[in-house]
Structure 1
Amino acid sequence: MRVGLGYSTLEDPYSAGLEALREAISKSGEPSFIILFVTFNYDPYEVFRGVKEVAGCSRLIGATSECIIVEDMLIARGVSALAISGEEIRGVTFSQNEEPADDYELGKIAGESLLKSNLDRGLVITFFVNGLVDASRMLYGLYNTMGIRFRYIGGGCGRRPGTSYAYTFTEQGVNRGPLVAGLVDGIDVSTAIGHGFNSIKEPLIITKTARNRIVEIDGISAIESYVKRFNFVPNRDPLSQIVLHPLGFPNLSGEYIIRDPVRINKDGSIEFPTDIPKGAVGYVMEG
């Protein structure tokens, strides 16, 4: 197995996609599986056109985001590609263009599709749309379908400003649906989670919710309760401050599950990528 990483910050989207993957392939050789990341400020269709020119028959999965991380750099405009090659590398991808009525069913459909490859082990990669997919329910459906033989990684894709969707990718093209997923075998991967946050002040209780919005905390407006729990600066943008202080919910092992706020609404409610149930007890965190 050989792996190559490439990136580009060229202005032209077609050229950026082409340059990023060419650099990756120059290190990996002819790829069997490609992972692609593209920032919002490119035309994803043109990026994909450049990528496909050199991708060959490789499987591909990718997502869009506000920034990309390459080595020790945070890039606000760019394309990055990871190319994996080797005779032992086998992969399959899945994309869902329509939103099912239930996110558990979405995960189940993805799992059933990936299992049709007859691969009985490997790494499952998922990219879902933040705010459109309840990640917890989708993952329950996926995991209950595929089981413990596989490792799982993935993340939420940010929606392009002013839109209700996010662009994702497979080797078939650009996708505007809620989820893409891939399964790749032949690579050894270890997974771990760390967040570096600690709880501050007293616990809070989620007293009113609406899907992925927390409407009230401790019986008052969510944002009003939230900002009382850290050194909030009134003349600074509230969202830029609360994203540094996510919510943490303790699990049975005493560790915290982190939920990051993504939007403050005019009614004082706060949106999160996934649903948070009414009655949940958690903390505002700092890191």
Structure 2
Amino acid sequence: MDMAIVRVGLGHATEATTAANQAMEKTPKPDLVICFVNFSLDIHQAYADIRAVVGEKAPIVGGSAWGEFSSLVDGPQTDTVVILTLQSSYFSVGLGIGENLTAQPEQAARDAIRNAYSNLLSNPAVMSLMAIALDSKGANEVSRIKPCINMVLPDGTSAQEEAFLRSLILETGTVSQIIGGSTATGLGDSKSYQICNGVYQDAAAVASFSSGLKIGTAMGHPYIPANKGAVVTKSDGRRVISLNGKPATEVLKKLLESDELTPELFIQNPFGIKSSDVFAEYTIKSAQQVHDDGSVSFYAEIPKGAFLREMKTDADTAKKRFK
């Protein structure tokens, strides 16, 4: 008799069917399928292939990626499909999609989380575990219990992740945790794909987990602050207009010691802003492209008054940070 509380399957291959079959070896009746498909592949065909293997009832969530990794391979891959499957009687999952993310990020957030919650079916095993846990805890401990974890996958080419997350937090309040990332493309202008029991673009997928089991989340990156940086003296959303009172491109060229600011240079030299939360961690803010007026676009919002610090790393630092 299999007494596993949670069964986990993993698949990683150049073909979606192969990856799905690998994952299904450990989870013949998955309660959730999480998949990431390289953007260069046919996303619609990959989804159809995965669906054919896992069956019509299993919820599938994920999106397009640009560089896939798993414990089945030695390093990041390209042109592959990676799949994680979960099977357990002790959690429930509801999926939701919010569309038209670029034009209406707030509405997309409301639609996605409400759809996810409405699809979150009651699970007797979860309710029993929660009742037992609550019975043994005081009021102060009960108030800190987070019954849901929401995994979010917004379109990374929408430039609306911040607005989406702000609205999502207003919907969920502090009773649930939020974890996730943006779906990706290459460095072109194409829209990325979101998978949520179907294939979408310009959307955000949400998977809501409810469980009586303990579920941990963590965040980190391999970078530490360097000694150089500049104050953001004028910005507009993701666009930095001036640093230290000078055109942003002029200051960045000096900081990066380069006469030309290219996407490749920006990838190799990220910046960071110190977070205002209790962890006081640096959040990574990577530059995206330069503009003729001397401003620079980033992949995330850059507030006026922030100190944009150059970040650095090496192999030893990365290993220590991720431990």
Question: Same fold judged by TM-score > 0.5?
Answer: yes
Aligned to 1:13: none
Structure 2 contact 96–114 (Cα < 8 Å) conserved: no
| Alpha-carbon offset, residue 48 of structure 1 | 0.9
Contact 1:131 1:212 in 2 (8 A): no
Contact 1:68–1:76 (CA<8 Å) still a contact in 2?
yes
* Other-structure match for 1:2: 7
Partner of 1:69: 69
TM-score normalised per structure 2: 0.77
Following TM superposition, by how much is the alpha carbon of 1:163 offset from its aligned partner in structure 2, in angstroms?
3.3
Equivalents in 2 of 1:229, 1:157: separation in Å? Answer: 30
Match of 1:243 in 2: 267
Aligned counterparts of 2:75 and 2:102: Cα–Cα separation in 1: 37
Per-residue CA deviations over 1:23-64 (Å, capped at 9, x if unaligned) read 101112211101000111101011111011012111111111
Higher-helix-fraction structure: 2
In structure 1, distance between residues paired with 2:266 and 2:79:
25
Query: Which one-letter code corresponds to 1:85 in the other structure?
Result: Q
Residue 269 (str. 1) matches residue 295 (str. 2): yes
- Flag the structure with larger Rg: 2
CA contact (8 A) 1:91 1:183 kept: yes
Deviation per residue, 1:148-169 (Å, 9 max, x gap): 3322211112235543421110
CA distance in 1, matches of 2:214, 2:171: 22
**Is the Cα contact below 8 Å between 1:239 and 1:264 reproduced in 2?**
no
Shift of residue 219, structure 1, vs aligned partner: 2.7
Contact 2:97 2:116 in 1 (8 A): no
Letter in 2 for 1:177: D
Give the superposition deviation at 1:224: 2.5
1:1-287 correspondence to structure 2 within 5 Å: 1-9=6-14, 16-56=15-55, 57-71=57-71, 72-99=74-101, 101-117=103-119, 121-171=147-197, 173-186=198-211, 188-230=214-256, 232-234=257-259, 238-252=262-276, 253=278, 254-287=280-313
The answer to whether the Cα contact below 8 Å between 1:28 and 1:84 also exists between their aligned partners in 2 is yes
Task: Name the structure with the higher strand share.
Answer: 1
Q: Secondary structure at the match of 1:258?
A: strand
- TM-score normalized by structure 1? 0.86
The alignment of Structure 1 onto Structure 2 pairs a total of residues equal to: 278
Provide the secondary structure at the position in 1 that maps to 2:163: helix
Instruction: Say if 1:45 and 1:89 are closer, same or farther in 2 by CA, change over 3 A.
Output: same
- CA RMSD in angstroms comes to 2.4
Separation (CA, whole Å) in 2 of partners of 1:131 and 1:280:
24
Gaps of 5+ in 2: 1-5, 122-145, 314-323
CA distance in 2, matches of 1:279, 1:102: 28
Instruction: Give unmatched runs, 5+ long, in structure 1.
Output: 10-15
Q: Is the 8 A contact 2:63 2:153 kept in 1?
A: yes
By how many angstroms is 1:177 displaced? Answer: 2.2
C-alpha distance in structure 1 between counterparts of 2:195 and 2:227, whole Å: 42
> By how many angstroms is 1:146 displaced?
1.4
Indicate how the Cα distance of structure 1 residues 154 and 178 shifts in structure 2: closer, same or farther if over 3 A, else same: same
Relative distance call for 1:145 and 1:240 in structure 2 (3 A) is: same
Kept in 2: contact 1:208–1:215 (CA 8 A): yes
Deviation at 1:262, TM superposition (A): 3.1
Q: Which moved more, 1:110-119 or 1:239-248?
A: 110-119
Indicate conservation of the 8 Å contact 1:130/1:274, yes or no.
no
Deviations 1:206-241 (CA, angstroms, capped at 9, x unpaired) = 2333432223222333232123224x3558x73323
Q: The residue matched to 2:269 in structure 1 has which SS?
A: coil
Please say if residues 38 and 68 of structure 2, whose CA atoms lie closer than 8 Å, have aligned partners that are also in contact.
Answer: yes
Shift of 1:133: 3.8
Distance across 1 between alignment mates of 2:168 and 2:298? 21
